[in-house]
Homo-oligomer: A and B are copies of this chain.
Amino acid sequence: MAGHELPLLLLGGFRQLIDEMHRRLAERGHPDLRPAIGFAVQAISHGATTASDLGRATGVSKQAASKTVDQLLSMGYVETVPDERDARRKALRLTARGVDLVTLSGAVLDDLRAEWVAVAGESAVGTLETTLRLLAGREGVRTDTAGWLVAESG
């Protein structure tokens, strides 16, 4: 098997998953999503508590993360609460809508995985996951991807 197929297949799989997820989320009350939004909300639900923090979690500058936070605020996915212990910080908290997005996203991805299993079989999908975790999960998966595709890599 020629190696040049590998990246295209991985990218194709990723795209298909994300495109379909967004299609379904749009149907369920979350239109106008982009991967960057999803990654950010995910990072916040996993513990990123400030814009700077989000920047570190997603691999972008705090200034860029701050712009993303502005979007999340205007889209109603997060809200800020002043930190009583540190007046510099604006703590981020998911709104009910933000929590709904995280919950729905997880459910949709579970569905999509189940559909892959229905087509390819549990063992094939399981092997795919195990293999990628072994090969690509070595240093954890970073989600600062929008910029990465565009900027120089390395």
Contacts and interface: CB of A to CB of B under 8 A. Distances in A.
Contact of A3 (B111, B148, B152): B111
Given A3-B113, A15-B148, A153-B19, A129 B9 contact: yes
A137 interface: yes
B19 A10 contact: no
A138 B150 CA distance: 26
Interface of A: 1-19, 21-23, 26, 32-36, 105-106, 108-114, 116, 119-120, 124-137, 141-143, 145-146, 148-154
A15 B149 CA distance: 9
B154 A149 contact: no
A148 B109 CA distance: 20
A150 B34 contact: yes
Contacts of A151: 34
A151 B1 CA distance: 33
A99 to B, nearest CB: 15
A3 B128 contact: no
A114 B1 CA distance: 10
A141 B6 contact: no
Contacts of A127: 124, 127-128, 131
Contacts of A137: 9, 12
Nearest to A122: B1
A12 B128 contact: no
